[in-house]
Amino acid sequence: MTRNNTRPPSQRQLRVGEEIRHALAGIFMRGDLHDPDLAGIPITVTEVRTGPDLKSATAYVMPLGGGEEPAVLAALRRATPYLRGQLAREVSLKFTPSLRFELDRSFAEAKRIDGLLRDINDGAPGEDGGNGA
């Protein structure tokens, strides 16, 4: 039996996700990670979504400059236990959620949609009605 999870996140889920996002951004900004794949690469945490029980969280990240996405994602997944420990020190919750990292594809999707809209506009008739008269 599969459950259809169509309910929007609760206010508590949104607040906790935002707290986790701020804490992770601070950890990345301080450069607490000593992984060579993460050295010198600024990472943006765009969103954190928590589960209904607040025991799991998915962090959507994007390395600035792109290109290094697979290596950065693999390094973050290796550093997950360390990051969870740091998160436990910074965010006051009954349980520290398990972390999962995913690349944020929204920027690529927005760029693709923008390109499609530009293509449509380039092929549209001009202001004169397109009859060329």
Say how many Å lie between the first and final Cα of the chain, rounded: 64
What the block records as the tokens of 93 is 């919750």
SS3 66: coil
Q: What is the pLDDT of residues 11-68, one digit of tens each?
A: 999 999 999 999 999 998 888 788 888 878 888 999 999 999 999 999 999 888 766 7
**CATH number for the domain formed by residue range(s) 11-123:** 3.30.300.20
Q: What is the pTM of this model?
A: 0.76
